[in-house]
Amino acid sequence: MGVAFGKFIATESYRLIQLECRTNHADQSGLALSVTTPDGIQIPCVGVGVIDFSDQFEDEIEITVFGIPYPLYGELFPEHVSAYERTFRGC
């Protein structure tokens, strides 16, 4: 299983949950967040979290997707898997 994170670019509908994401960084499971690829395919995962500091720093919203199953993680992020393997090669 893998973890991916990066900058979150919000759509207009994000405004419906933005206050919760700004004030509750501990447990957002009640929001039932999910992630889809640009092709519209939902990525299976254990959980999704949004950390929103955009009220303090313009456009600073980060998304983290936890527990993306293998081999899907390797298909979505092959460069991350390669870098990880290079780090531990020969140990």
- Short-list 52, 77, 90, CA closest to 1: 77
CA distance 17 to 13: 8
CA distance 53 to 3: 21
pTM to 2 decimal places:
0.84
Q: What pLDDT score does 37 carry?
A: 86
**pLDDT per residue as tens digits for the range 80-91:** 899 988 998 876
Q: Please give the full DSSP string across 23-48, using - where no structure is assigned.
A: H--S--GGG---EE-TTSPEEP-SEE
